[in-house]
Amino acid sequence: MATVLSVRDLRKHYPKVKAVDGVSFELEEGRCLGLLGPNGAGKSTTIEMLEGLVEPSSGEILYRGRPLDARYRQRVGMQFQATALQDFLTVRENLELFHALYERTLPLEQLISACHLEDFLDRDHRKLSGGQRQRLLLAIALVNDPDLVFLDEPTTGLDPQARRNFWELVQAVKARGTTVVLTTHYMEEAYLLSDDIAIMDHGQVIARGTPQSLLAEHFNDSVLELPAVEIEGRQIDLPLVRKDDRVEILSADVNGALRKLLDAGLSLAQLKIRPRTLEDLFIQLTGKELRA
């Protein structure tokens, strides 16, 4: 596979802060990189440098082997966390406005169909629901038929159904061979959409790999979860982690753990067993929960 982006020892230093401190990676064509990190980890600054919006203090970003230039700006698409659109314009008029800014574009009807905009094309964009607005912003990010598209927390604030609908649109974008860089606060979203994950903290990438390989590398156990009230006053020969009104038991031997719980006389009617998740990995590596 061809390399779309090469990032080499990327740094961005401010007078009292090292926002990005030596980030390096390569991104292959047609893959989705999920860039994760707690607030202040450096991921937003990294994305802004990759988008060409912020000048690095040092390091190198190459697009298909060449430094970022005017050609790069024509070949990338960006969906920002917040995008200001021109007031009083309809959905169709916004698409036509951005369509006119690029040399190479997708047909508007193709964008409208791909992002399911048909039902509200003539509506003022200010009257769109959250999910409808994100679909419009995705269409704008794709208007120039980009090789590479940046999606910066695209589903924050959406309800679960709108979020899942948006995931389907992103999967369709990936299926066309478009390379994607995604930042998100939703671990299920990162797991579902990302071919590779990069976790950042303190301005550096502290873990990189496929979601499956990262979980296999760091965990060999499962999580058994019970309401805390079920174990009150009982002696159980298992390591317990209290979390609010529930208790978690981490065990590589689920059958053995179940036998010990039964021997202690516990009811397992409300027992939940789950594999380790990206959120578990994130908290283990950074010590912080990822919040929207």
CATH number at residue 210: 3.40.50.300
pLDDT (0 to 100) of residue 110: 95
What value does the mean pLDDT take over residues 63-77?
93
What is the Cα–Cα distance from 27 to 6, expressed in whole angstroms?
A: 7
Counting residues of the chain whose pLDDT is more than 90, the rounded percentage is: 82
Q: What percent of the chain has pLDDT over 70?
A: 99
Residues 190 and 230 grouped into a single domain: no
Higher pLDDT, residue 86 or 189: 189
Residue 255 belongs to what domain range?
220-275
Q: Give the pLDDT mean for 60-78.
A: 94
Which one-letter DSSP state was computed for residue 21?
E
**Does the structure show a pLDDT above 50 at 292?**
no
Instruction: Provide the pLDDT confidence category of residue 113 given band limits of 50, 70 and 90.
Output: very high
Cβ neighbours, 10 Å, residue 227: 15
Domain identity same for 226 and 267: yes
Residues 94, 136, single domain; the answer is yes
Residue 289: what pLDDT?
Answer: 63
Residues 191 and 252 in one domain: no
Across 161-170, average pLDDT: 93
Burial 101-135 (b: 16+ CB within 10 A, else e): ebeebbebeebbebbebeebeeeebeebeebbbbb
pTM comes to 0.90
